[in-house]
Amino acid sequence: MSITRRRALLGAALSITLMATGCSGSDDGDDGAATPTTVTEADIAAALEAGGNLTVWAWDTTITKVAADFQTKYPKVKINLTNAGTGNDQYTALQNAITAGTGIPDVAQIEYYALPQFALAKSVADLNTYGAASLDGTFTPGTWNAVHAGDKIYGFPIDSGPMALFYNKEVFDKHGIAVPTTWEEYAAAADKLHKADPKAYITSDSGDAGFTTSLIWQAGGKPYTVSGTEVGVDFADPGSTKFATQWQKLIDAKLLSPVVGWTDEWYKGLGDGTIATLVTGAWMPSNLEKGAAAANGKWRVAPMPQWEAGGKATAENGGSSLAIPEKSANKTLAYAFLKYAAVDEGAQTRIDDGAFPATTKHLAAPEFKNKEFPYFGGQKVNEVLAESAGQVVTGWSYLPFQVYANSIYGDTVGKAYLGQGTLTDGLKSWQDASVKYGQEQGFTVK
């Protein structure tokens, strides 16, 4: 299959996936101005000296200060920072802009799960051109792997979400529940808590694609295999089965709160103790502080429950990168900003504002690890989270059409949460629908 055809296919695939309605895209595979094959550090310095305008699309609030600092340091650069929506909203907008060929930003925030989709369509630039390979070892292996497709690098990690168990200690103490170290113990704790207080649940989960894939990831499952345009989807592997069996018990016993994540009800539950734990990414602390202020001092962080007693395996949940759209008019300058925000001064600025770093240097820094969080009763939360970052199971990959796959999760796996069939059935139909879609888009799907 020729590159051009593949690109056209994927371009069309993306248009349909991401837009509200299908329509024929005008993506004719024309990449605009040719980029030099290599850009040296001197070229980058020259671009900074020359200055110019950069449009940055990011929803992450910690970017605001980074952009301001960058402009102070390089006065000839003017950054136009735009919040084009969080996650999917922004991908739709980005894809629309790419299809239309105008209004494309110079830098865009893209989550790890969505990056392969833009990378395979060549919508984002390969940063090797700018010497990104020299940053090998700068980022944690998990995040560095997440921005790679083959030996090409499509973005710089700006945060990471190694998972941990966030729990409401007050609720646990009140009912004499021990902090679970395995998923078996977690289920037992769920049962004990709900029996002691029928209004309280161990956690809320009404079906979340990111959570499901993260737990399968932790269990050692590798349902997605990707090699170029050859894609495999298999939710019958041991890791997926482990998750489906264990989590089904919680669903069957009605031990999960049906409250939908990130709603006002959810924040309420996190604040008043009716949602007692969250197993989620390391970026959670600042959200708890801001959204569940009522529980100030009550929450703690513990290592993620394990599939094997005594195990030390974790997974990533969420986290995003900054990428440069291929059609950006000022890619060299954009790269300079990327490096500043992800590696240089900007990384520390963002950590100070509550972001969880993806850089090994910052993760190991004593002032980072020893920081005491008043919201967590003075606990040194980052110690637990940084430890988790080092234990992420390797070898995970997302589908090159994961944005679409996640969008149909609710229609397939989500049904199991409503008592229609089991998680295993749901995963099977998710697999079938993903395979079908992949084939339609021109992938070789097994």
Partner 1 sequence: MTATPTVRAAARRSGRPPLKPTARQPRRRSAVLTVVTGVMLVYAILPLAWLFISATKTQEDLLGTFGLWFGGEFALFDNIADTFTYQDGIFGRWVLNTVIYVVVGAGGATLLAALAGYGLAKFDFRGRRAVFAVVLGGIAVPPTALAVPTFLLFAKMGLTDTPWAVIIPSLVSPFGLYLMWTYSTEAVPNEILESARCDGAGEFRIFFKLALPLLAPGLVTVLLFNLVAAWNNFFMPLIMLKNADLYPLTLGLYSWNRQANTVGGDVVFDLVITGSLLTIIPLTVAFLMLQRYWQSGLAAGSVKQ
In whole angstroms, the minimum distance from the beta carbon of 295 to partner 1 comes to 10
Which one, 199 or 446, has the nearer CB to partner 1?
199
CB of 13 or CB of 255, closer to partner 1: 13
Quote the least distance from Cβ 19 to partner 1, whole Å.
5
**Shorter beta-carbon distance to partner 1: residue 288 or 427:** 288
C-alpha triplet 312, 318, 319: angle, nearest 5° = 100
User: Which residues contact partner 1 (rule: CB under 8 A)?
Assistant: 19-21, 23, 26, 57, 59-62, 82-87, 89, 92-93, 96-97, 99-103, 159, 262-264, 267-268, 271-272, 283, 286-287, 290-291, 293-294, 318, 353-355
Nearer to partner 1, 38 or 86 (CB): 86
The Cα 295–Cα 291 span in angstroms is 10
Are 445 and 439 spatial neighbours (Cβ–Cβ below 8 Å)?
Answer: yes
Output the CA torsion sign for 401, 404, 408, 409: positive
Q: How many CB atoms are located within 10 Å of the residue 20 CB? A: 7
From residue 167, give the alpha-carbon distance in Å to each of 203, 295, 422: 9, 11, 27
- Give the shortest CB-23-to-partner 1 separation in angstroms: 5
Contact of 147 with 271, CB cutoff 8 Å: no
Min separation Cβ 246 and partner 1, Å? 27
Nearer CB in complex with partner 1: 60/126: 60
Nearer to partner 1, 273 or 303 (CB): 273
Question: Shortest distance, CB of residue 129 to partner 1, whole angstroms?
Answer: 27
Nearest to 434 by CA among 212, 136, 151: 212
Q: How far is the CB of 439 from partner 1 (least distance, A)?
A: 24
Residue nearer to partner 1 on the CB measure, 232 or 354: 354
CA angle (178 as vertex; 386, 302 as ends), nearest 5: 5
CB of 181 to partner 1, least distance (A): 27
- Smallest distance from the beta carbon of 66 to partner 1, in angstroms? 13
- Between 229 and 287, CB nearer to partner 1: 287
